Amino acid sequence: MRQKMADMVHRIQDEICEQLRSLDGVDYRQDEWTREEGGGGRSRVFSGGKVFEKAGVNVSVVHGTLSPQAAQSMGGGHELKGKDLDFFATGISLVLHPHNPMAPTVHANYRYFERGEGEKPGSWWFGGGADLTPSYLFEEDAVHFHTVLKNACDRHEVADYGAYKTWCDDYFHIKHRGERRGLGGIFFDDLNSASKDECFAFVEDCAQSFLSGYLPILERRKDLTYTEQQKDWQQIRRGRYVEFNLVYDRGTKFGLTTNGRIESILMSLPLTSRWEYCHEVASGSEEERLLQVLREPKDWLSE
């Protein structure tokens, strides 16, 4: 499974980057990096292109020994020792920030983790998800994005769209703002309730569905006209994105405290962002309409 998952995420990275390259009119910068403690990764970042302010697609395959701190948080209450402290992790992680404030930011991440030999129950799992973060609300975009994810879930017995949708809303919660980061999507972790192959098939399906979930939305929005005020609002929303990632995101925190490659971890941050003191949106405005669904997550597929 280690090799199978590593191969899959590399293939998906190639596919996605190929599409982004043709859209963006520039090539990505690629950095292959190694990790002192074992393994490494391949980061690809677009910047200065037609469509994206900044867009990063990263894969990594790392292994090593869990730190006492990490072992504690991953042992599920059991003390891990000796061989059980060995770990292997591989995954793909991407964040795309378009220039146009009408085009949403998107994030996706699919990963596989093993402790020890990865054979005992509970010593391996998959995790991941995808979520959409617009500055302006187009309901049809939210519906399309969630539909593609629900369809992927529905094709696999192991997956549960409803539960993963709620998990996503709960995870991407900027608690100090009382807002979700975006319109959600799916989020799941510790997935091992079927065979490795069945779980993999679901995760692969999600990863392969990424482009069909996002590209139609991007195509519709990337060339819309917008005002300077709308660009400012996007920058304020970018600030919220930064707040979530630096204050709450587990992957970011894990990376920052475990000697990860900083530039790959923080490639999720937008190129620019803005914090206005006590910014308020006008009553009845499009900005307020977005805030409402960030404050009270909607079930996009209910009707």
Q: Tell me which stretch binds a copy of itself (CB under 8 A): 66-74, 133-141, 148-156, 241-249.
A: 241-249
Q: Which is nearer to a copy of itself, 213 or 270 (CB)?
A: 270
Q: Does 129 bind a copy of itself (CB under 8 A)?
A: no
Site residue total, a copy of itself (CB under 8 A): 32
How far the first Cα of the chain sits from its last, in Å, is 39
Which residues between 270 and 299 bind a copy of itself (CB under 8 A)? 270-278
Question: Counting Cβ atoms within 10 Å, is residue 108 exposed (0-12), middle (13-18) or buried (19+)?
Answer: buried
Q: Fill in the DSSP letter of residue 77.
A: T
Contact 96, 108 (CB under 8 A): no
Taking contact as CB under 8 A, which single stretch among the options 110-118, 185-193, 212-220, 256-264 is the one that binds a copy of itself? 256-264
β partners of residue 59: 42, 92
Q: What pairs with residue 185 in β-bridges?
A: 131
Please confirm, yes or no, whether 146 is among the known catalytic residues: no
Distance CA 75, CA 299 (A): 34
Which one of 97, 107, 144, 146 is the catalytic residue? 107
Q: Among residues 138, 46, 131, which one has the least CA distance to residue 101?
A: 138
Q: Which amino acid is at 93?
A: S
Q: Which is nearer to a copy of itself, 43 or 200 (CB)?
A: 43
User: What x-and-dash track marks residues 28-67 binding a copy of itself by CB under 8 A?
Assistant: -x-x-------------x-x------x-x-----------
Binding site for a copy of itself (CB under 8 A): 29, 31, 45, 47, 54, 56, 175-177, 235, 239, 242-243, 246-247, 256-257, 262-263, 265-267, 269-278
Which residues are catalytically annotated?
A: 107
